[in-house]
Amino acid sequence: MRIFTALAATIALFGGCAGPPVDDRIFPYRSEIRDLPNGLRAIVVDTGRPDIVALYTVVQVGSRNEVEPGRSGFAHLFEHMMFRGTERFPSEKWEEIMQEAGAQTNAYTSDDRTVYHAVFSKEDLEQILELEADRFQNLAYSEEIFRTETRAVLSEYNKSFANPFRKLDESLRDNAFEQHTYKHTTMGFIEDVEAMPEMYDYGLQFFDRYYRPEYSTVCVVGDVDFEQTFGWIEKYWGGWEHGSHQEEIPVEPVQAQAKEFTTDFHAPTLPLLVVSFQAPAYDDELVDSAALDVISFYAFGEGSELHKKLVIEDQTVDVLAPAYYDHRDPYPFSVIARVKKPEDVEAVREAILATFEELKSELVPAEKLDAVKSHLRYQFALSMDSTAAVASTMAHFIGLRRTPETINKRYRLYGAATPEEIQRTARKYFVDSRRTIGLLRNSAEGGEQ
């Protein structure tokens, strides 16, 4: 179906009037994938919304790829460096062209990917494809500029980790992982970030390794002509040379015993408690990670019984949230609580652990489970309310599987998360030997916990 409005999507997802069988795709847009000889993947999606186009370039490089000791944080650094321009289009010229097109531009780095994005009018698509292809293939900067950006990254690190939640995440990763590169955050270890200014030559090497077509997917989403768009991508990106680098990502062993840690925070903060279990990677074939997604909403989300008890009734906690994020490799399933009083930390911890035990011992009521799954689908459908939203959502999944079809496969797995599958998954992953519990507290309160 070429044009699919938000209303039509909702009808298709949840059933409308009687008629032919309903298409169960939650990502219903017409799309096409083509792989160029150099390894670049091009994906074009027609949203049915007029005039606007989003260009998302997804590079499968993030902190996951930073396998060499002392070299963390470089994927994030190059998110910055990529805005430094080329000989043909220096940064000022790049910015001028984007502004004249009225383009909204930005980028972000995660554990598994770096994404560059722009949203603009469709008449500017060819020019912006040319502009972006140039910086991916011909980035140029001096050692002085490299040093300037590394200092900016250090400043960003210091600002970011003034947030106690970020500091807790850093401590959890460092304690939960032994071998895998998820042990460090996207920002990197502080000692590596501080050493970056002297690593100009390594920076050139890092860019040469990963900014290659075989790691990259160009996504054009919106009001598009398929053949014309693929022609432009071939024209401007087809000459990009395939690379030769392949790294081995360390495999994290199955955790053999429970862990606990305490992190002292330099500034006043309420205690932050995290209860975490080693959990599987994103999957669109096996139900386990989808079942854990459902569990996170059912047992620990705002509508959960635990939230009702700790936040509303007992009022011992003012933040309770699950944290289980899609990753290419296994990643912790976590529950985070901000506790109002240090003396209540132990009671909150026991309440969270009791909820995990209940998931193993009792079947989730089918009607409550169905409500959670319907909510997940409805929430997703409503979020796809613009071309930019469709492209942004798709980029997340492209970083995992390089195809938008993984979205439909994943949401079908939610439907397979029966009460029995929920219990089986809980029993498999929520075991003491796979558990890590952490507490972040104000350093002045060290003797009170």
Burial pattern 57-83, b for ≥16 Cβ within 10 A else e, equals: bbbbbbbbbbeeeebbbbbbbbbbbbb
222 in the Ramachandran plot: left (φ > 0), alpha (ψ -120 to 50) or beta?
Answer: left
- pLDDT score at 16: 37
- pLDDT score at 247: 87
Cβ 259 vs Cβ 176: under 8 Å: yes
pLDDT in tens, 342-395: 999 999 999 999 999 999 999 999 999 999 999 999 999 999 999 999 999 999
Residue in the block written with tokens 């932050």: 272
Is residue 322 predicted with pLDDT exceeding 90? yes
* Residues facing residue 350 across a β-bridge: none
Q: How many CB atoms lie within 10 A of CB 101?
A: 19
pLDDT in tens, 78-119: 999 999 999 999 999 999 999 999 999 999 999 999 999 999
DSSP H helical segments within 365-418, as ranges?
366-383, 387-401, 405-415
pLDDT in tens, 293-303: 999 999 999 99
> Residue 445: pLDDT band by 50, 70, 90 thresholds?
low
Whether domain 36-237 has CATH 3.20.20.70:
no
- pLDDT score at 109: 98
* Residues facing residue 440 across a β-bridge: 263, 272
Q: How many CB atoms lie within 10 A of CB 97?
A: 16
Distances (CA, A) of 25 to 13, 135, 243, 380: 8, 36, 35, 12
pTM score, two decimals?
A: 0.91
**What does the DSSP assignment read for 308-345?**
IIIIIIS--EEEEEEE----SS---EEEEEEESSGGGH
Q: Which amino acid would we find at residue 311?
A: V
Q: Output the CATH code of domain 259-445.
A: 3.30.830.10
> Residue 19: pLDDT band by 50, 70, 90 thresholds?
very low
% residues pLDDT > 70 (the chain): 94
pLDDT in tens, 23-76: 689 999 999 999 999 999 999 999 999 999 999 999 999 999 999 999 999 999
**Quick one: how far is CA 171 from the chain centroid?**
19
Q: What is the mean pLDDT of residues 199-223?
A: 98
Q: Phi and psi dihedrals of 172, rounded to 5?
A: -60, -50
Give me the count of residues in the chain.
Answer: 449
Is residue 444 predicted with pLDDT exceeding 90? no
Is residue 15 predicted with pLDDT exceeding 50? no
pLDDT in tens, 161-171: 889 999 999 99
pLDDT in tens, 277-298: 999 999 999 999 999 999 999 9
Residue in the block written with tokens 């993984």: 406
How far is residue 115's CA from residue 107's CA, in Å, rounded to a whole number? 5
Q: What is the mean pLDDT of residues 188-200?
A: 97
Is residue 22 predicted with pLDDT exceeding 60? no
Q: What is the mean pLDDT of residues 389-418?
A: 97
Cβ 194 vs Cβ 70: under 8 Å: no
How far is residue 217's CA from residue 404's CA, in Å, rounded to a whole number? 12
Is residue 6 predicted with pLDDT exceeding 80? no
Ranges of each domain in the chain: 36-237, 259-445
**Quick one: how far is CA 21 from the chain centroid?**
34
> Residue 443: pLDDT band by 50, 70, 90 thresholds?
confident
% residues pLDDT > 90 (the chain): 92
Q: Which amino acid would we find at residue 6?
A: A
Average pLDDT in the chain: 93
Give the residue with greater pLDDT, 33 vs 443. Answer: 33
Q: What is the mean pLDDT of residues 339-344?
A: 98
Q: What is the mean pLDDT of residues 5-16?
A: 34
> Residue 1: pLDDT band by 50, 70, 90 thresholds?
very low
